[in-house]
Structure 1
């Protein structure tokens, strides 16, 4: 009975350690968010995704995820005009 309890305890500890390691790898694989500034030299080979623009009237933050010519992923944050402004 003690052996079964020890095996179960070790299994729980191993599962928790594996989950923490998996989360750490996921966080490390996400590229840092870069902020666009006027004159930034961009190397965009392929756009992966662009965030939706909110319904606000005025400047809002948007993000674009892209790959450069070396195959590295980047996330660029930039300002755009929100879609909530009327043309009237």
Structure 2
């Protein structure tokens, strides 16, 4: 739970992304996507981009975060969030 809270805070603090970073987000392959689970050990040194939470959906949806680890390698992580429509 602690890691998920950190993940959410990190995503909110890094919403602005440069064009090159956005292109990285668009190039992510479905096979390269890691799926977040409660026991996932996260090594996030820098958040590159996070997808916006949809405002028009009232259900749990997958969201992606694109980040670099402490070794400079880029990763795509998928996790679930509740849509913003209440």
Question: If the TM-score is normalised by the length of the shorter chain, which range does it land in?
Answer: 0.5 to 0.7
The residue that corresponds to 2:78 in the other structure is 77
The structure number with the bigger radius of gyration is 1
What is the total number of aligned residue pairs between the two structures? Answer: 57
Taking only aligned residues, the RMSD between alpha carbons, in angstroms, comes to: 1.6
- The higher-RCO structure (CA 8 Å, 6+ apart) is 2
Structure 1: gaps spanning 5 or more residues: 1-28
SS at match of 2:34: strand
TM superposition score normalised by structure 1: 0.60
Superposed CA offset, 1:61-82 (max 9, x none)? 1000000000000000000010
The residue that corresponds to 1:37 in the other structure is 37
Structure 2: gaps spanning 5 or more residues: 1-26
TM superposition score normalised by structure 2: 0.62
The residue that corresponds to 2:61 in the other structure is 60
Q: What's the CA shift for 1:30?
A: 4.7
Stretches (4+) displaced over 3 A? none
